[in-house]
Amino acid sequence: MSRIYARKSGKIGWIYVYHNKLPNPVSIKTLESLTYAFEKLSEVDAIILTGVGKSFLSGANIADMLNFNYSEAWRFSACNERLSDTIKQCRALTIAAVNGYCFGGANDIALACDLRVAKADAVFGHTGAKIGILTGWGGTYLLGKSIGTKKAYELFFSAKPINVQKALELGLVNKVFDSEHFYGELKQFVQRCLSRVKEGRGILNKIRLIS
């Protein structure tokens, strides 16, 4: 199971997802903890969501999902609703800092944030088609809006992972940072964003509505 750790550093809120083992499955508990962390950091100007280790988040636990019926699958998909709404209603600029593997539902959570930055060795993928499902946390809508429906369809259909350069080319990530200096470059990037936070705040919620 994943553990969520949140801290405030000046005007920046950090949410770290720690993994006990890889790949890191996202459980309902993880989503509740993430929602709580975003709510708790309501006073900051920017919130950074990142993973610790090799993975950002890695989607759901397949063994748990195998025997889901319609209602259980519905509930599992619905449990992300509160997190998405909380991220969308955040006063702060939200940034997904993708530090490693980012598959399935993890992509949907990253897409719910305002900006996505990634480590040079991060890997993205929507591999649901390989296991006979589609994504259930908003990805079919958000990915289409982010990179265009044809390219989004290709990612879902092929179920193949893509590297960070491809993600940048597609517009899935806004910026890529060197692996060795990831957190340093991330901090500088956030500081640059903060220098415009006063001007941007008024329009941020309107931009979120466009998507």
Distances (CA, A) of 121 to 22, 100, 139, 166, 177: 16, 7, 22, 12, 9
Given 3, 131, 160, 178, the residue binding another protein (CB under 8 A): 131
Other CB atoms within 10 A of residue 57 CB: 31
* Residue 137 near residue 105 (C-beta atoms within 8 A): yes
CB of 111 to another protein, least distance (A): 11
CB of 136 to another protein, least distance (A): 3
What is the Cα–Cα distance from 104 to 131, expressed in whole angstroms? 11
In the block, tokens 């940072």 appear at 177
CB of 162 to another protein, least distance (A): 13
* Residue 106 near residue 96 (C-beta atoms within 8 A): no
CB of 151 to another protein, least distance (A): 6
Q: Does 130 bind another protein (CB under 8 A)?
A: yes
Compose the 55-94 pattern: x for residues touching another protein by CB under 8 A, - for all others: -------xx-xx-xxxxxxx--xx--x--x----------
Q: Per CB under 8 A, which region of 10-18, 44-52, 128-136, 194-202 contacts another protein?
A: 128-136
Judged by beta carbon, residue 22 or residue 73, the one nearer another protein is 73
Judged by beta carbon, residue 197 or residue 204, the one nearer another protein is 204
Residue 201 corresponds to which amino acid? R
Q: Does 22 bind another protein (CB under 8 A)?
A: no
Query: For the residues of 75-129, what is the DSSP string, one character each?
Result: HHHHTTHHHHHHHHH-SSEEEEEE-SEEETHHHHHHHHSSEEEEETT-EEE--GG
Compose the 132-171 pattern: x for residues touching another protein by CB under 8 A, - for all others: xxxxx-xxxxx-x--xxxxxxxx-xx--------------
What is the Cα–Cα distance from 19 to 171, expressed in whole angstroms? 28
Which residues bind to another protein, rule: CB under 8 A? 62-63, 65-66, 68-74, 77-78, 81, 84, 128-136, 138-142, 144, 147-154, 156-157, 211
